[in-house]
Structure 1
Amino acid sequence: MNSKARSLLWTIRRFSTLLPRSRALRIDPLGTCRPEVIHSKWNPRNHRLNVFDEGLQPSVRYLFQDIFISKSVDGCIQTKGISHSAVFKPDRLLCPRRLSFDAKHSFVSDGTSDHDLKKINFHHTSSEDVFTKKVRPTPVNYKKLAQECNSLSDVLDTFSKAPTFPGSNYFLAMWIIAKRISEDKRRFERQLMFSHPAFNQLCEQMMREAKIMHYDHLLFSLNAIVKLGIPQNTLMVQTLLRTIQERINECDERCLSILSTALVSMEPCMNVNALRAGLRILVDQQVWNIKHVFTLQTVMKCIGKDAPSALKKKLEVTPDFSDNVHGCPFKVLISILQSCRDLRYQNEDLFKSIAEYVATTFDIWKLKQVIFFLLLFETLGFRPPGLMDKLMEKVVQEPGSLNVKNIVSILHVYSSLNHVHKIHNREFLEALASALTGCLHHISSESLLNAVHSFCMMNYFPLAPINQLIKENIINELLTSGDTEKNIHKLHVLNTCLKLDESTYKSVHIPLPQLPLSASQPNEKLAEVLSRLLEGEGRFSRNVPLPHNYHIDFEIRMDTNRTQVFSFSDVDASSATNMQRVAVLCVPKSVYCLNSCHPRGLMAMKIRHLNVMGFHVILIHNWELKKLKMEDAVTFVRKKIYSDEVLPTADTTV
């Protein structure tokens, strides 16, 4: 090498030492090939949802492996809503092949391709000169962008002028704007968004960034994109779904909530179904780590009421949420209970936590809020004694604070759940009757019927409301308008209670159409058990009709001490004065309050009326009988029939 060449190399080396090691040339994410100087002290963690976190995964992931798109024509994949032309299925990555991020490396490009990035070493230095004065443009803040822009097109205009990383922030900003405008305007803005020249460019950037984006940011992006109405079968949406599926092990509790929210509004397809299946597996593994009720709610919504019974059971018996329920706003708690009702989840620990929280903070809640809680608990079959006692005491103290809607709702809940206060029950019913009497001049006929029906179920008969209800014009209105079938059923209950219970209206009879006979099939296993136990079917009768539209599954005739069973063909025995009629009812769990042996209102009323008609009532739980072998079932029923067991009225665990 001649002296001139050696001199040139020495000069180049000397010049290179003057450059700061933190300076790196980098291709712009959109492929504009603009050199940038990265500031050495720029921290991506300072910008939530605007940039990526430091903890990027070093593993290699690939896009578009068996991705499901709507249809393929001649090697092309047709997309809808994003591109007006066919898009060829890529055979190479739209993002870096290999990603790494640590204190000694940065990404640069050789300038030949957007897809091939090289990794070079750099060393941090505290020296600052003219090169480090040029910092990377600050990533756009999606909240600020949503405030500054008035339409979806404004956001895309901002993007086209100076595209910044990450592209997800533009979608988030557009979704915030879309939420605050009317539906008609939103539809028009969506059309403008699809036709905007920068929209395809933004979608392409979003796909390139999907592999390196922090996982919760990726989920937020999918949710915003779906809510914006971008067609689900487009390449971008399917790319995001596949990427999320590949990285699902990065899910924590927060990500579970976001992913569940996004999937709820998506239609079934290959990638959505696969992701939902993966979510179910993940929830099955992590259900015991869920600490927040809102996460549980969103996961339940996504999994749905058709989830496998084992998984549903896990969600129903998750640990107590008392610590997390405290401080939750009213709307969140109501939304959780509504989700449990709609999806048929019976998480008793969760219900108890909410009920105890409302009871201990009773004074901070409005009356209508407490009633709303109780109405939802009633639909769930859950009876919270502490909270219900609190409300009873408030009604006794302040009956003047009740309006018609409050009165009817309270009566419905307490009669349906068959709740009785040990001390203030009579005062509670009198306070409600007095409040209802004061509203008779403006109450509707159906509301009056609902209130009186509830009173009758609780064996209480207020004079003024009943006198108002049994007027001929009121009865005619109920029989000809509204939900007539339901009205007729409630009027039959009223007739029955007036006749059988201790009321002053025994001579009153309301003429009503006959109720249709409901088909009843007594439990076949119980019939076989009774046949073996009583040595033949001549000693019991099945499906026995009774007055007042009642019927019982089985009737047995015994002596008053319930030690001997009489045959139905034995006339002398059946006419004996010491005979006791026994009604055997095979009942499901639904006749009880949730996970207890406390009978609900209709069953409690039936037991009361059967006792009035001279029956001793025995309840056989069909779910217990079903799991017993025949020999054990015979022993089980024998103990029920030949014992002096008192029917339970208090809460006990089933």
Structure 2
Amino acid sequence: MNIKAGCFFWNFRQFSTLVLTSRTVRLDPLRFCRSKIVYPNWNPRNLLLNDLDNGMQSSVRYLFQDVLLSKSGDDGLQTKRLSTVPVLTVDRSLCPRRLSFDSKYSVSDATSDNELKKINFHHEVSNEDLLTKETKPTPVNYRKLAQVCNSLSDVLDTFSKAPTFPSSNYFSAMWTIAKRMSVDQERFEKQLMFNHPAFSQLCEHMMREAKIMRCDDLLFSFHAMVKLGIPQNTLLMQTLLRVIQGRINECDEKCLSVLSTVLEAMEPCKNVDVLRAGLRILVDQQVWKIEHVFTLQTMMKCIGKDAPVALKRKLEMKALKELGRFSILNSQRMFEVLAAMNHRSIILLNECSKMVMDNIHGCPFKILVSILQSCKDLRYRNVDLFKGIADYVATTFDIWKLKQVLFLLILFENFGFRPIELMDLFMKKVVNEPKSLNMKSVVSILHVYSSLNHFHQCQNKEFLDVMASALTSCLHQIPSENLLNAVCSFCLMNHFPLALVNQLLQKDIISELLMSDFEIRMDTNRSQLFPFSDTDVVSSADIQRVAVLCVPGSAYCLDSVHPRGFLAMKIRHLTVMGFHVILVNNWAIEKLEMEDAVTFLKTKIYSTEALLTADVNVQGTC
């Protein structure tokens, strides 16, 4: 009897050990599983105080019953419903004797032999691995999803059938697919995406998961959403901006690069401004730890023109330190980066200019335009750089389109740079292919050649005749202002095409040119404005015509308000036509708020001192 009792208590102790190491897998609301160890709050010694048979059955039911939890107590059995899935981990080395469980969850003592038999459950699930495989979805890979799906709607259909974590991969897959499409197809697919019934559900999942997903997944998906055209003022985008603000310290160098790219493409708003300010602080702290030049340039481009000067200089020093690691693309991109910062670093620009000139062959047209435009914004004039670009285009002239060369010539004209060889080649091209010209290109060509005063000894007259013929063929379709500019350019080049001049002198053309906004009609006392529709009623003797000109500082002589040649000529011509001229300085009005600017203009227009000042300036230039 003592031997049987000892064996029974030994088996009971081993069985209680199994109970304490049982595991419960809880299903997460986001459809991915987390396993937790559950230690039942019960003491097996208390069972000895009650009926051993009932206590043993209640313990087994605690382990294996799916829904009903039975727990023994002093007052009897207590039941409680659970929504968990229990899994039993059995260590066979702890069971020297055979234990079996019948369908009624009772324990029987098997004494036929010493071999161990497997524990059988009433349910079909027999181990944790199988259960985990069935309840834990495999995370979707956005690259594979982008290969399988052919449209944005296909991705949303896949999501609606079996949503998986993380939702960010669905947005990344859609952006990957959209990049393969044409512009028209992409626009159509985006419209279908917004109207898809699963799109709002995907957005909700994204908002819930944003705080727990990996930082790089969050930022890459946010970048995809911006590129997909999801409006910035939506709850989804504003929620993600707030989440990124709270997790910005988790960003590594790669994440900061992605974040910089996204912020650069977003419109200013409160959350964007706060995030950009946080990025500036983080960049200021980690600038010396940045390893990749491309990441450095992306951050420099993102911090904006209104960043502190100290931060701009620190980034400039970091770029100078990494100058030896600059690739050709880094050097070409540095112009655009500095222009975006509005930081004119002569040392960086000079060094990058040398590398650009040394590797100019094969440089794409888009890069050349970006370099010249950035030089214009930074007021950086490097004759060697301009000459290198012009010589490269002249050497490879046959591979360029006429429109591309004209665009480069317009940029050169902004600097006052005259590429002689390139302009000669362009003249020959125009003379040989006059049908390739349209009205807008002719007006631009005339402006460039007249502004730079460029002539060709042999083909100059032929070139001007081709220009005049091209405009004459579309004479009745030319806007009045374009016609005026073209005739002005012809006159500067000492050429007077009669058809164009006669058209310009037509009464309706002159009336249209004079009926502009650059004009104001007032009474002689300058106390009342007349609409143009009412001027016929009022006597012409009682009307005073006023022209308001907004001029930059370069229109005056240095350190004075004395108008220079072109402005002086314009004032003289307007005076001859019966206008009183009022000059408004651009720098005086640009720094004013809208209400202050209106008050300033009213003061200038209604003040008699403004007319007296203009008259003195005109007389001084005659």
TM-score category, normalised to shorter length: 0.5 to 0.7
What is residue 562 of structure 2 aligned with on the other side?
543
Shift of 1:215: 1.6
Alpha-carbon separation, structure 1, partners of 2:567 and 2:366: 38
Shift of 1:364: 2.9
What is residue 14 of structure 2 aligned with on the other side?
11
1:254 aligns with 2:250: no
Shift of 1:27: 2.6
Within the candidate set 401, 406, 409, 1:408 is matched to: 406
Shift of 1:220: 1.9
Matched ranges for 1:25-104 at <5 A: 25-30=24-29
Q: Given the superposition, is the C-alpha separation of residues 165 and 551 from structure 1 closer, same or farther in structure 2, using an over 3 Å criterion?
A: closer
Q: Given the superposition, is the C-alpha separation of residues 193 and 386 from structure 1 closer, same or farther in structure 2, using an over 3 Å criterion?
A: farther
1:462 aligns with 2:461: no
Shift of 1:341: 5.9
Shift of 1:491: 5.0
Shift of 1:357: 4.0
Matched ranges for 1:168-183 at <5 A: 168-177=168-177, 180=181, 182-183=186-187
Q: Given the superposition, is the C-alpha separation of residues 311 and 16 from structure 1 closer, same or farther in structure 2, using an over 3 Å criterion?
A: same
Shift of 1:217: 1.7
Q: What amino acid maps onto 2:242 in structure 1? A: R
What is residue 432 of structure 2 aligned with on the other side?
438
Alpha-carbon separation, structure 2, partners of 1:478 and 1:456: 21
1:189 aligns with 2:193: yes
Alpha-carbon separation, structure 1, partners of 2:444 and 2:403: 11
Q: Match of 2:243, SS? A: helix
Q: Match of 1:364, SS? A: coil
Alpha-carbon separation, structure 1, partners of 2:565 and 2:388: 39
Deviations 1:191-219 (A, max 9, x none): 324478xx37x844x45544443222222
Shift of 1:167: 3.5
Alpha-carbon separation, structure 2, partners of 1:375 and 1:143: 38
Deviations 1:160-208 (A, max 9, x none): 6665443432343344445555433432333324478xx37x844x455
Within the candidate set 347, 371, 376, 2:373 is matched to: 376
Deviations 1:552-572 (A, max 9, x none): 9xxxxxxxxxxxxxxxxxxxx
Contact 2:446 2:489 in 1 (8 A): no
Q: What amino acid maps onto 2:26 in structure 1? A: I
Matched ranges for 1:112-261 at <5 A: 138-150=138-150, 155=155, 158-159=158-159, 164-177=164-177, 180=181, 182-194=186-198, 199=201, 203-204=204-205, 206=206, 209-225=209-225, 239-261=239-261
Q: Match of 2:361, SS? A: helix
Contact 2:439 2:478 in 1 (8 A): no
TM-score normalized by the length of structure 2:
0.52
Q: What amino acid maps onto 1:255 in structure 2? A: C
Of the structure 1 ranges 313-322 and 145-154, higher mean CA displacement relative to structure 2 is found in: 313-322
What is residue 280 of structure 1 aligned with on the other side?
280
Q: What amino acid maps onto 1:216 in structure 2? A: D
Q: What amino acid maps onto 2:454 in structure 1? A: Y
Contact 1:440 1:465 in 2 (8 A): no
Alpha-carbon separation, structure 1, partners of 2:552 and 2:416: 27
Q: Match of 1:363, SS? A: coil
Alpha-carbon separation, structure 2, partners of 1:269 and 1:400: 47
Alpha-carbon separation, structure 2, partners of 1:132 and 1:382: 67
TM-score normalized by the length of structure 1:
0.50
Q: Given the superposition, is the C-alpha separation of residues 184 and 398 from structure 1 closer, same or farther in structure 2, using an over 3 Å criterion?
A: closer
Shift of 1:546: 5.0
What is residue 359 of structure 1 aligned with on the other side?
357
Contact 1:254 1:295 in 2 (8 A): yes
Shift of 1:144: 0.7
Q: What amino acid maps onto 2:10 in structure 1? A: S
Deviations 1:27-72 (A, max 9, x none): 333367978699xxxxxxxxxxxxxxxxxxxxxxxxxxxxxxxxxx
Shift of 1:312: 6.1
Alpha-carbon separation, structure 2, partners of 1:230 and 1:449: 40
Identity of aligned residues (%): 34
Shift of 1:248: 1.2
What is residue 326 of structure 1 aligned with on the other side?
327
Matched ranges for 1:630-641 at <5 A: none
Contact 1:400 1:435 in 2 (8 A): no
Q: Given the superposition, is the C-alpha separation of residues 223 and 3 from structure 1 closer, same or farther in structure 2, using an over 3 Å criterion?
A: farther
Q: Match of 1:30, SS? A: coil
Deviations 1:440-472 (A, max 9, x none): 465446545544543444443225344543687
Alpha-carbon separation, structure 2, partners of 1:427 and 1:30: 71
Q: Which structure exhibits the higher relative contact order, with contacts defined as CA atoms closer than 8 Å and separated by 6 or more residues?
A: 1
Contact 2:156 2:196 in 1 (8 A): no
Contact 1:151 1:174 in 2 (8 A): yes
Q: Given the superposition, is the C-alpha separation of residues 461 and 247 from structure 1 closer, same or farther in structure 2, using an over 3 Å criterion?
A: same
Alpha-carbon separation, structure 2, partners of 1:490 and 1:176: 48
Contact 1:288 1:318 in 2 (8 A): yes
Q: Given the superposition, is the C-alpha separation of residues 363 and 474 from structure 1 closer, same or farther in structure 2, using an over 3 Å criterion?
A: closer
Alpha-carbon separation, structure 2, partners of 1:426 and 1:156: 58
Contact 1:288 1:319 in 2 (8 A): no
Paired residues, what number? 433
Q: Match of 1:543, SS? A: coil
Shift of 1:11: 1.7
Q: Given the superposition, is the C-alpha separation of residues 188 and 7 from structure 1 closer, same or farther in structure 2, using an over 3 Å criterion?
A: same
Deviations 1:502-537 (A, max 9, x none): xxx89x9x96889988566989x999x8xxxxxxxx
What is residue 124 of structure 2 aligned with on the other side?
none
Q: Match of 2:192, SS? A: helix
Q: Match of 1:27, SS? A: strand
Q: What amino acid maps onto 1:27 in structure 2? A: R
Alpha-carbon separation, structure 1, partners of 2:163 and 2:23: 19
Alpha-carbon separation, structure 2, partners of 1:349 and 1:292: 20
Alpha-carbon separation, structure 1, partners of 2:154 and 2:376: 47
Deviations 1:71-95 (A, max 9, x none): xxxxxxxxxxxxxxxxxxxxxxxxx
Contact 1:411 1:454 in 2 (8 A): yes
Q: Match of 1:362, SS? A: coil
Q: Given the superposition, is the C-alpha separation of residues 249 and 475 from structure 1 closer, same or farther in structure 2, using an over 3 Å criterion?
A: same
Contact 1:291 1:324 in 2 (8 A): no
